[in-house]
Chain A
């Protein structure tokens, strides 16, 4: 069970080779055995999961199929509001976030037949790329104990990789889906801004927040995206752009596609094993028929500064209450980030929003005239060991954290879809990963390229040895 993908489990349930109760029972056994080390869950909902599994089993016996995820165990980052379970957002406060609206993306998965095992660990207030959490425990890396799982959707990444569930939701304001996906050796997709409703999920920065799927394979991620994508009246920023069939062209390969590798910024200071893994990915895509070339992109530093200004302003505005009334409850690095936002003027914030629009338009026009997708590393180094990070001051930590997420953050600012796919292992046995970036609303193409790579390279058949 722990070595099977969401697609194979969904098919096994559909063909009655496995029941929803068996699927949930197998996952829960694994969680009970291994989550003391992994710390992927903030709240495991055993009774809720078993109750849902029994109901779906009865439905299946009666020939009633709820949807493509009927009986498939999943779990949600603990900033997704669902009735009956508190939402801590990784803070000390069990019910930090409440909402009259359930998380639309989570609800769509459940309505498609998925079974929630519970709420997942995350970096406090989704701030931080490593997956450390002083209140709920640091999430461990399934491939190497003592190393980061990546964050902020740390429980989502580690839990999928550990075989606790078949898919998860994460959120991504600066890389928080792609970083844990890369650190944990799974696939993570940050969709286009507006592609997936953000309703019912704790906001960190309404201009930069994205919700997206995480799973073992690109195909699994495509199925999850199919369910959660699309307009939602509860989120005015959700797009009316039509949702394509993400599986329809998944097998079409990469022949003739233009893949651009932006040298310079995206490879400066990047670990040699990761850089080699990404370049090897380029060669493999070329063998599969793509035209791979170097491409120049605008210097990301300007959009990063603008994104920083916007994110800091909005995060401080949203989380002012805890920052001002109960700052002692926050981890020092989170508090430090929020303090910066209080010092930003309305003038600078609004000019940053105007500049973002202009820079996004010119990036799309110039870059995608040359290539169909960009290929970059996702992380600048394999998942680092946790202990040395704890010796840093809050400001030192935030500088290091900023560097760790510097390859993903530009694409939150541009709002472009970005997919992280594993591409090997380091000498220490830690996952390597690449990132594909495409035109707005062209998730289907990223999934097609990622799938072609996975089928040819087969890294997704390797699993961490957890017992």
Chain B
């Protein structure tokens, strides 16, 4: 047994590191895959051996997915999950079923590629440097000494005044569309000075195509049972909380939120409140969320659902629905309007939703072209809440530190599937 074979034997017994490219209709499914035995969803392709392409993507995704594919260290394989033909990159194996199906396929492909029964996939992008090195740069970079070496021939950062009016370097970096801290499909060009984002520009919105219509999309045209709507809302908020907890580095609580979202039934108010208590005991509030992402008063947040309600605007289309009035619905609000208020708001709305689902009986609501979805008010033919959030990103993110920027973007709950292609912000 050679050294490679021994290492392979060790590797194939461990958890499968998976990098997930999440397209339309599969955000929730990825949360359930996180709970599967032997699957570890990682934040960068550098840690991954399996590239999972889930859901529907447009052709515009091809290049970024290929780049992510190439950035995985070998041995590597690509697996598709509910990703229809034509695929954005060649796919080694696929599954269309539920979480246990895809987990089986992923584990099998990983096992096979590690022991060498299937070959590791070759790179997809050509071995060409887009900015070829042409000798010593204008500031001596690429020359001898501290700045020596061959830094891909890229120019040095721009210069711009910082907040103390000192002329310092400003480094524009495009982050996304598959950065784990952003909603899948969102790419932003962030001009960084140290860790302060001085300017922010959204650069893509046509990468994730909408998946099959969920219960809220269908409620635009036909009345849906309140029980289904509210259970979907509670699950959505719990999965959002899991994302927020993952970004904050509280992985154990994130797993707990995902577990709860998977097993949630009508009337399960108490487990949701217990989870929120555990979050309250963590250092999330004092360390990362307090006073983060309070918007200036001229930023229009009406219609952004929980984001608006967490700053004290009791705006909720459910109050004008007979079905909700029958079961005595009152919108929850918070006052401070920071990232912690948005977290508490969604936790409160999740526990309220499971309670409403229990009491709803067979009542229905909506079907008149206006729906209060978990991310805000959807109206037929009008810009979605995600459109509104995208349009205000540059104003609410400029001048924030990088860590706060990621927190704020996540706290807005942007669903790239519902962003209109004609959004003027992009």
Q: Do A and B come from one complex?
A: no
Binding site for B on A (CB under 8 A): none
